[in-house]
């Protein structure tokens, strides 16, 4: 895999005027997102906060705002102009993918040219996201914009683009449903193949192969396939361990389809369970259903977490539920909001979150059940409609 060039800028090929067939890069994106509308929303937020200009560098934020999916991007935004700076590896791709912003192929450094463009705009300040800017990057911004502009770059005091991304628009909801449904289909296809003796890695390989053949760009994280005692590991990646004759099997996986992540978990049982195993499964299922039922605009993330946790507390299992109840999902697998005990953020229509309580009894077994849920006007819609009922193989 290659890295960008520096130097030899004079030799760089020019493809600005060449016309490429559409969808050369992302054949699966059925249509362009409305980037102009997203930029308008962002500019309204900027204006309300007195922000002259903004430098966006977090790649999912860049993709969200202008469509570009390359690995080197500096998106500079003022009240009436926007320019996306990248390098020569992406000449054709950037021009094809990017809308609502001018594409600039930097001769040397996309970062430096973006900073200089912003300084030359004559505006007083430029904001940046301190949560996605390293200390080194900031020093380089300041170096590129000096002399006389030391204070030009200022950290945002509140989240701006991630805040917009919190509420999915109609285009995004459609794509997220497609990603989630693909996940459900893959799970159903996989069920007949879950037999004692099959290595966990073979299960993962089969799942991921089907995902790829059905259009997924990639998995959204390393698939969790944890069987037998390994089901007690919340993050039990697939290993060479073979599925047991008797015991739980936790499958936690997601696809990336058209850029959007899916995420779901199902725990099935091979063989005949003990009463304790069945009791634990039913308690986790009840906790998961309670949290899904609690999803509604205006309810806080902490309340949704508590809905799951209180069920497990009554069952005497809360001490084994060692993580939070869920998280936002979208272009990234982990986004705002966090569905955790200390979160006062209220749910709003258009958010997409996971609900995934689990119980892990170390060295014995574990159970987790996870759905993706979209917050609607009056409740929540489960996007991953595979049964959560007890499944015995």
How many degrees, rounded to 5, is the angle at CA 38 between CA 37 and CA 44? 90
Site string for a copy of itself, 302-341 (x = CB under 8 A): -------x--------xxxxxxx-xx-----xx---x-xx
Name the β-bridge partners of 54.
77, 127
Q: Does 26 bind a copy of itself (CB under 8 A)?
A: yes
Q: Does 263 bind a copy of itself (CB under 8 A)?
A: yes
Number of residues that bind a copy of itself (CB under 8 A): 91
Place of tokens 């991007």: 73
DSSP label at residue 246: S
CA atoms within 13 A on the CB side of 149: 23
* Assigned token pair, 157: 């005091």
Q: Which residues of 348-374 are buried (b: 16+ CB within 10 A; e: fewer)?
A: ebbbbbbbbbbbbbeebbbbbbbbbbb
Site string for a copy of itself, 115-134 (x = CB under 8 A): ---------------xxxxx
* Assigned token pair, 299: 């309810």
- Which residue from 44, 151, 362, 392 is in contact with a copy of itself, where contact means CB under 8 A? 362
Question: In whole angstroms, how close is the CB of 327 to a copy of itself at the nearest point?
Answer: 5
Rounded CA separation 297/204 (Å): 36
Residues 47 to 76 in contact with a copy of itself, rule: CB under 8 A: 70-71
Name the β-bridge partners of 77.
54, 82
Site string for a copy of itself, 135-174 (x = CB under 8 A): xx-xx---------------x-------------------
Specify the 3-state DSSP secondary structure of 93. Answer: helix
- Which residue from 53, 78, 93, 388 is in contact with a copy of itself, where contact means CB under 8 A? 93
- Beta carbon nearer to a copy of itself, 131 or 271: 131
Question: In whole angstroms, how close is the CB of 377 to a copy of itself at the nearest point?
Answer: 27
Start-to-end Cα distance in the chain: 42
- Beta carbon nearer to a copy of itself, 53 or 231: 231
Q: Does 95 bind a copy of itself (CB under 8 A)?
A: no
Structural contact between residues 304 and 355, judged by C-beta atoms closer than 8 angstroms: yes
Residues 218 to 237 in contact with a copy of itself, rule: CB under 8 A: 218-222, 224, 230, 232-237
- Beta carbon nearer to a copy of itself, 20 or 390: 20
Q: Which DSSP helix (H) or strand (E) runs through 278? A: helix 275-294
Residues 236 to 255 in contact with a copy of itself, rule: CB under 8 A: 236-237, 239-241, 252, 254
- Beta carbon nearer to a copy of itself, 198 or 299: 198
């Amino acid at each position: 895999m290659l890295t960008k060039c520096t130097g030899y800028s004079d030799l760089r090929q020019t493809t600005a005027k060449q016309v490429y067939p559409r969808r050369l890069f992302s054949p699966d994106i059925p249509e362009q997102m409305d980037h102009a509308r997203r930029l308008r929303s962002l500019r309204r937020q900027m204006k309300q906060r007195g922000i002259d200009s903004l430098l966006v560098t977090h790649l999912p934020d860049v993709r969200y705002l202008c469509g570009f999916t390359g690995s080197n991007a500096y998106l500079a935004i003022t009240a009436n102009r926007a320019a996306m700076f990248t390098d020569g590896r992406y000449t054709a791709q950037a021009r094809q993918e990017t809308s609502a912003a001018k594409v600039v192929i930097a001769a040397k450094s996309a970062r430096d040219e973006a900073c200089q463009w912003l300084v030359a705009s004559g505006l007083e300040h430029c904001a940046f996201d301190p949560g996605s800017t390293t200390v080194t990057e900031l020093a380089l911004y300041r170096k590129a914009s000096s002399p006389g502009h030391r204070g030009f770059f200022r950290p945002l005091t509140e989240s701006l683009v991630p805040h917009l991304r919190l509420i999915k628009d109609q285009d995004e909801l459609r794509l997220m449903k497609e990603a989630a449904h693909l996940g459900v289909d893959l799970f159903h296809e996989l069920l007949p193949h879950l037999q004692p003796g099959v290595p966990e890695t073979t299960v993962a390989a089969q799942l991921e192969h089907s995902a790829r053949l059905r259009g997924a760009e990639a998995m959204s994280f390393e698939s969790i396939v944890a069987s037998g005692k390994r089901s007690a590991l919340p993050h039990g990646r697939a290993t060479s361990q073979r599925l047991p004759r008797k015991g739980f099997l936790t499958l936690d996986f997601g696809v990336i389809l058209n850029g959007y992540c899916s995420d779901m978990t199902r725990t099935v049982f091979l063989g005949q369970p003990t009463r304790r195993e069945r009791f634990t499964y039913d308690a986790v299922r009840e906790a998961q259903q309670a949290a899904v039922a609690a999803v509604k605009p205006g309810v806080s993330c902490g309340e949704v977490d508590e809905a799951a946790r209180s069920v497990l507390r009554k069952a005497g299992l809360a001490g084994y539920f060692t993580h939070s109840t869920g998280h936002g999902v979208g272009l990234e697998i982990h986004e705002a909001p966090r569905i955790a005990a200390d979160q006062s953020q209220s749910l709003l229509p258009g958010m997409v979150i996971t609900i995934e309580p689990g119980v892990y009894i170390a060295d014995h077994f574990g159970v987790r059940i996870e759905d993706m849920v979209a917050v609607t006007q009056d409740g929540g819609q489960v996007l991953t409609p595979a049964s959560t009922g007890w499944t015995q193989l």
